[in-house]
Amino acid sequence: MSVEPPIDRFRHRVLRAARRFAHLAEAALLLLVMAVFAALPVDVASASGGWIARMIGPRLGGFSRRALANLARAFPANDALENRRILRGMWDNLGRAVAEHPHLARICRADSGRVEIVNGGVVDEILAGTRPALLFGGHFANWEIGPSTIHRLMGGTLLSVYRAANNPWVDRMQRWRLPARRAVPKGAEGGRVLLRHLRAGGHVAMLVDQKQNDGIAVPFFGAAAMTAPALGRLGRRFACPILPIRVERLAGAHFRFTVQPPIEIPDTGDAVADVLSVMTRVNAVIEEWVRARPEQWIWLHRRWPG
């Protein structure tokens, strides 16, 4: 059995301590930023966050170059000026979403007048039934509006899936600020909880527009994009409806929340083909939303290979 040399053990301890310090510093900075925005009125916070992001974001060369490369890939007919306009709008929307985070409970409250709900009767029908349902959205507008609103409408019957932050302190802060949500992180343990919830007739919501390296290749803007197949597999397994939930920013900190018609789940006997068919339709829905309001999607993700 090999023994780690003392110098290596010391180096590893130093690296762990540095990582813990960096995580704490990052969490402290985030807490300070959130406290500042929380102290402002909702509309002032939203506008301020948008202004700050518009000023700083385009100057973050690596991120903006990636966003512009994604835009050129998705919209080859756009000229450079149009893509720069979308980029600026994306940074504005992203800054607003960050600044609105401390105000989510207020924004999504039933009597706030800030979230217009379209086709909400479908949610009532799901709650009145006995079958589970799957709901999905993407990183549009303020992407926390969808989960917050649907949790308010569906209560304890809904379980949402989220990606845990790499920083454990930030992850704890995130969970602490959203106590009303029943949520599980992506991963094996979260997956087991999710399956038990669906077997009991519960409902599940997730965001599905990010790249998953171990996913399946599905068309997105005319090119193969690695896509998580969970929606298709779960929909087929439980024979339950898959409902797109669209969130749009209307003006400032006002939003539209739309429940769209369910996606049909084929049952041809070929599980692989059926799942691919479902996920192709899911990506097509996401693409429709992006094309309609490109400045409200987060173009920073590495959505395509290469």
Between 230-238 and 271-292, two packed helices, what is the crossing angle to 10 degrees? 120
Helix H or strand E encompassing 299: none
Q: How high is the pLDDT of residue 225? A: 92
- The one-letter amino acid code at 109 reads R
How many residues are given for the chain?
306
Task: Identify which of 183, 105, 196, 185 has the alpha carbon closest to the alpha carbon of residue 145.
Answer: 105
- pLDDT tens readout for residues 123-151: 999 998 888 999 999 999 999 999 899 99
Beta bridge mates, 162: 185
Determine the 3-state secondary structure of 284 from DSSP. helix
> What residues pair up with 262 in beta bridges, in sequence order?
none
Judge whether residue 179 has pLDDT over 60.
no
d(CA 97, CA 91): 10
pTM: predicted TM-score of the whole model, two decimal places: 0.88
Q: pLDDT-based confidence at 280, cuts 50/70/90?
A: very high
Nearest residue to 70 via CA among 95, 87, 89: 87
Percent of the residues in the chain that have a pLDDT greater than 90, as a whole number: 64
Lowest mean pLDDT of 9-13, 253-257, 291-295, name the range.
9-13
Domain boundaries defined on the chain: 6-102, 114-296
What CATH number does the domain located at 114-296 have? 3.40.1130.10
